[in-house]
Chains A and B, each alone.
Chain A
Amino acid sequence: MRAAIRCHLLVITALLLGTLGGCATPPPADDADAVAEFKETNDPIEPTNRAIYAFNDGLDTVIMQPAARAYRFVVPPPVRAGIHNVLSNLGTPAQLGNDMLEGKPRRAGDTTMRFLINTTVGVLGVFDVAKDWGYPDHDADFGMTLGLWGLPEGPFLFLPVFGPSNPRDAVGMGVNAAMDPFTWVGQGTAVRVLDWSRFGINALDQRERHLDDVENIKKTALDPYATFRSLYRQHRQARIEDVRNDTRATIPVWFPQSGTRGNVTYSPAVSPAY
């Protein structure tokens, strides 16, 4: 019963976002394997999600994909890399905030150094000099922060325009936008045009980077929606595990080290549960 109510709430939310849909039918309770699978899939509003997926896919086919192909065709790779670096550099303030909220001083240090180095030596972020100087980039957003704090992801959601998500990451996306100082800086037409240009170019940059992957998945998957759902979940979980496993010590190397804390330990992402 409670599951049904939760489902209806989700559908109402989806309806408010302007789409039609319904709830997935749970399998009969006596089929234990099927019930376990249904729970593991955790996609109670699958029909609604699939409708939004179809809508997004249409938008993508008509607008984003051709735009991204044109972008790839017209703009040479080094320029695209520069544009990507500038966008990434603009994102560092929110990234730093999340590094701190995650309680990862070394990550926060990396982000700070990246911003300082790339904004100056890297000419306003065009060149990622910091990476070569030992400060590699990492992912940090408020959805990941919430995940690290122990908030479960919740049921799968496919958001119009934004794509695969879940309640945790959807809230995280909103908070992350609020954490971005550029959301609050200035007003007037010029600023709005700049904000929207950044949003548009960012979408183009992201889409171009995934042109081959997405095409491959659509070609090879029997059910692309289910494949994207699985990939999104695994990817988010792996990014959160990356943060959790980043236990580099904050003691500088020249300082007398005590016990095991002195060792720089690195463990790669834990694989998803089998």
Chain B
Amino acid sequence: MPNRRTLLVLTAASLLPAAGRLVQPAFAQAAGGASAFVKSIGERLVAVVNGPGSNREKREKLAQIVNSDVDVDGVARFCLGRFWRNASPEQQQSYTQLFHHVLVNNITAKVGEYQGVRFTMGRTQKRDENEVVSTIVERPNSPPTNVEWIISNASGAPKVVDVIAEGTSLRLTQRSDYASYLSHNNNSIDALINAMRQQVDQAG
């Protein structure tokens, strides 16, 4: 047994430099890509938030950014957690559709709060299969906030899969909200869908 392990380690060690040479440029490029991607999203978000236009126009522009650069379907699936498997295809579809609206509404609700926002780019790291881009978001009269953008390249193009503000994950918080709502409503996915529909209708 030890022999085989030694052999394995040796083989791996001899292959490593070659693999390293192959992987490194690709990784460096990807890392630069993630950082540039977040920078571009950040700049567009700041432009919308600080820019002119009514709340309605801003909502339209934010929806465009969210739908093109965020893996909304993936996030929606994550937020439903173990209930996704139990949902019927129709339920999955209407849930995902509503989730798009809810997400855009939640972001739009913060526009007023983020007036005068600025951000600075930090470093990019690899975590699991994703890349984590750190930024510092500064608002007038508020302490600076550390915001991490989790970027996945799984679909070929970079997509935001989570935003972690001061250590609190957006999708994790959303998932616990839904899980708790479901457990207090007999685990009925229809009840959740109705509640989300009400939220969307109220927001107009």
Contact across chains for B166 and A272 when beta carbons are under 8 A apart: no
Contact across chains for B132 and A33 when beta carbons are under 8 A apart: no
Number of A residues with CB within 8 Å of any CB on chain B:
33
Known: A268-B146, A271-B164. A222 touches B109 (CB 8 A): no
Cβ contacts under 8 Å, B178 to chain A: 222
Cβ contacts under 8 Å, A258 to chain B: none
A220 interfacial by beta-carbon distance below 8 Å: yes
Contact across chains for A271 and B177 when beta carbons are under 8 A apart: no
In the assembly, what is the distance between CA of A142 and CA of B134, in Å?
Answer: 28
B188 interfacial by beta-carbon distance below 8 Å: no
Q: Which residue of A lies closest to B202 (CB)?
A: A219
Cβ contacts under 8 Å, A77 to chain B: 141
Contact across chains for B127 and A271 when beta carbons are under 8 A apart: yes
Contact across chains for B180 and A226 when beta carbons are under 8 A apart: yes
Q: Is the interface of A mostly helix, strand, loop or mixed?
A: helix
Q: Could you tell me the distance in whole angstroms from the C-beta of B104 to the nearest C-beta in chain A?
A: 12
A274 interfacial by beta-carbon distance below 8 Å: yes
- CB proximity to B under 8 Å, residues A201-249: 209, 212, 216, 219-223, 225-227, 229-231, 234-235, 237-239, 241-242
Cβ contacts under 8 Å, A271 to chain B: 127, 132, 148, 150, 162, 164, 167, 169
Cβ contacts under 8 Å, A113 to chain B: none
Known: A212-B113, A241-B167. A222 touches B181 (CB 8 A): yes
Contact of B109 among A220, A225, A227 (CB under 8 A): A220
A129 interfacial by beta-carbon distance below 8 Å: no
Q: Could you tell me the distance in whole angstroms from the C-beta of A248 to the nearest C-beta in chain B?
A: 16
Can you list 15 residue pairs at the A/B interface with Cβ under 8 Å?
A: A37-B82, A220-B106, A222-B192, A223-B180, A227-B173, A230-B176, A231-B173, A234-B167, A234-B168, A234-B169, A234-B173, A242-B167, A268-B134, A269-B164, A274-B172
| A→B interface (CB under 8 Å) | 33-34, 37, 41, 77, 80-81, 209, 212, 216, 219-223, 225-227, 229-231, 234-235, 237-239, 241-242, 268-269, 271-272, 274
**Besides A268-B148, A274-B172, 19 other CB < 8 A contacts?**
A37-B81, A37-B82, A37-B179, A41-B176, A216-B109, A216-B110, A219-B109, A220-B109, A223-B180, A223-B184, A230-B168, A234-B169, A237-B167, A241-B167, A242-B167, A269-B166, A271-B148, A271-B150, A271-B164
